Chains A and B, each alone.
Chain A
Amino acid sequence: MTKEVLQPLAKPVYGAGGPTGTWRSQRPVLDKEKCTGCLLCWIYCPEAVIAREDRAIDYEYCKGCGLCARECPVGAIAMIREGEEA
């Protein structure tokens, strides 16, 4: 007899809460010249949208909370209003 799970199972996937980048009113923009690679933005980002290697930001899911810009010790991340140029 095979034992099958009867309950519907959820699977881990990006965007389980939807395309959360649409929640954003401001977007973080990284100045690569200023970035020292300390990784504080990477560890503090609640959504894990900042890449460890080059701190590239995944705007599809970034909610624009601004924690990365607030915690960056060298001010390498600026928060820019959506619809405006960096």
Chain B
Amino acid sequence: MSISAKLTDMPDHELIQRGTGACAGCPSPMGLRIVGKALGPDAIMVMTPSCAVASIGMMPKSCYDVPVLNVCFASAGASAAGISGALDVQIAKGVIAGPKPVVFNWVGDGGTYDIGFQGVSAAAERNDDFIHFCYNNEAYSNTGVQRSGATPLHAATTTTPAGKSEGKKSMPLLMLDHAPAYVATASIAYPQDFYKKIAKAKDIKGFRYIELHAPCGPGWKFPASETVEIGRMAVKTGAWALWEAENGALTINAPTLQLAEGKTKPSSLEDYLKVQGRFAGLMKDAAKEQAIAVMAQGIEKELADLLARSKR
């Protein structure tokens, strides 16, 4: 089945009710708008402590037009699994009529890479029936920008003021190694690609993982108007790769595929880094050139590994 992702064909349905508590230019409501369009109104959202929870608004008002459950930080995997399992039982017993609503997590990198990792891993291993979205802003932005397992090398956070000395872990590939039915990466700058991936995941039963690269203005130190442009630069430099895997078969998506195949030259990594204040320390470092060259080599290796995996 081919899915039309033309903007003119996208549904009107809005999950986000305007006047949210999110910062200006925030990628979380941007992403959730696409999620709402792809999944429709019959969905249940689960959130762990994050900006997405802080954005809800003031009780008894909510900016989200779906039922939302705020659960504790480590429990996204277990909570969504429990809700999904309970719905299955209620439908089987005839307590509620089908079809089953889509259960999904909207969780940051903290609730996925670090604190939520075991719960998400266990749910993937059990093949529980829900979609886990990780909106990855590469830090604990909600609590004042502390480093996470998704923070890249050399990025300054409040807990790595001189720049992080370790690289990020590859969460999407870790999830792929759990062998679920569907794993994908997406970017806020490519809403049509994201929409297509959600629409595809919606029709699959079992555990599905979609990670959205979500540049954060206050956390990464760039103006609110640049959220999309920085997301686009991340993809065009190869710092963020777009791919999907159905039943373990990995496909690299455009424009990452053209980078991996060497058909297009990656955009300047230095240009991508220097527009983000979190790399200001690196930009002033005497060993800057060498450090950026090492980062570029890392990207090249990641793309080569993805390409090899896509040909398996």
Contacts and interface: CB of A to CB of B under 8 A. Distances in A.
Interface string A2-15: 00000011111111
Nearest to A12: B65
Given A46-B27, A46-B29, A52-B12, A12 B22 contact: no
A42 B7 CA distance: 9
A56 interface: no
Contacts of B34: 43
B57 interface: yes
Give the interface residue-count category, chain B: 35 or more
Interface stretch (B86-94, B107-115, B225-233, B284-292): B225-233
A14 B7 CA distance: 24
B254 to A, nearest CB: 18
A69 B16 CA distance: 21
A45 B191 CA distance: 11
A16 B227 contact: no
Interface in A24-42: 24, 38-40, 42
A44 B55 CA distance: 18
Secondary structure of the A contact surface, majority rule: loop
Contacts of A47: 16, 18-20, 29
Contact of B19 (A24, A52, A61, A66): A61
Contacts of B191: 43-44
Interface in B252-301: none
B17 A44 contact: no
Given A10-B59, A16-B19, A46-B24, 11 more contacts: A10-B56, A10-B60, A12-B64, A14-B17, A16-B58, A17-B20, A18-B58, A46-B30, A46-B227, A48-B29, A71-B228
Contact of A66 (B22, B28, B33, B224): B224
Interface string B1-33: 000000110101010111111101111111001
B19 A18 contact: yes
B310 to A, nearest CB: 28
A86 interface: no
B60 A8 contact: yes
B226 to A, nearest CB: 7
Contacts of A13: 17, 61-62
B63 A17 contact: yes
A38 B7 contact: yes
Interface string B82-104: 00000000000000000000000
